[in-house]
Amino acid sequence: MNEKGYLDEVFSSFQGEGLCLGTRQLFVRMSGCNIKCDYCDNSKAIRREEHFRIEFPPGSFHFQKRDNPISVDSLLRIIDDFIDIPHQYISFTGGEPLNQADFLKELIPHLKDRGHKIYLETNGTLPEELKKTGHLMDITAMDFKLESTTGVPTPWEVHKKFLEISYGFNSGVFVKLIISPSTPMEEIMESCRIIAKVSPSIPLVFQPLTDSSGINFHAPTFLKFQQEALRTIQDVRIIPQTHKIVGKVL
């Protein structure tokens, strides 16, 4: 085991967004990202730092500092320390996990051998890296990065290629759109066209933008988005980031 990876943190919590909302997951947040979104809520994970932190005991909100980079063997030992508490998935998030695809390719088979299910949170912009690991994923939560919320042009063709590869691996893929009341309908419809070309059975999640002021929710607009999306996509849901809501009352 020669690969080493850069992490931001390892912690135990519930999944706060998407189709697996509420499931208990062990989160491995990886460092480094190939894009910078205006709404990014994990900006510290964009950079690779000298240290990362692990929560121990799991669910305690108490953290210890460890050194980067970390070997596959060392991370496996950390994950093994968490399994006294049952977890439904091990979630790789970021940053962008596929920036370290070679590390994941070496690590994940050992986790699968231990009986763990794997959840990938990805920006959907690295299709060539997905080819190395997509067959290992049980759930792939893929963003379409809309220009109206990210501040950068939407890479439509790259997203389409990524979705095709993920769907071909039967990776339980679904698409997540970060939306706001100012998101143009044209972005919604182009997203739906791309998804439907791959398969209309791929679930689509509308996730209202959440920033420091709270959830930017405008029900009439979002219901219209859902109504139009349902003309081509079979499963369309509006799901806010519930962990952001919980965080305000803890």
User: Which residue ranges form the domains of the chain, and what is each CATH number?
Assistant: 4-247 (3.20.20.70)
pTM of the prediction?
0.93
Q: What is the pLDDT along the chain (250 residues), one digit of tens a residue?
A: 689 999 999 999 999 999 999 999 999 999 998 887 665 666 666 778 899 999 988 888 899 999 999 999 999 999 998 878 899 999 999 999 999 999 999 999 999 999 999 999 999 999 999 999 999 999 999 999 999 988 889 999 999 999 999 999 988 999 999 999 999 999 999 999 999 999 999 999 999 987 655 666 788 999 999 999 999 999 999 999 886 665 543 3
In three-state secondary structure terms, 250 is coil
Is the separation of the CB atoms in 116 and 95 below 8 Å? no
| Short-list 116, 157, 155, 160, CA closest to 138 | 116
Count of other CB atoms within 10 angstroms of residue 38: 12
Pairing of strands 4-5, 70-71: antiparallel
- Pair of tokens at residue 243: 């962990």
Provide the pairing of β-strand 24-30 with 7-14.
Answer: antiparallel
Residue 238's DSSP bridge partners are: 206
Total number of residues shown for the chain: 250
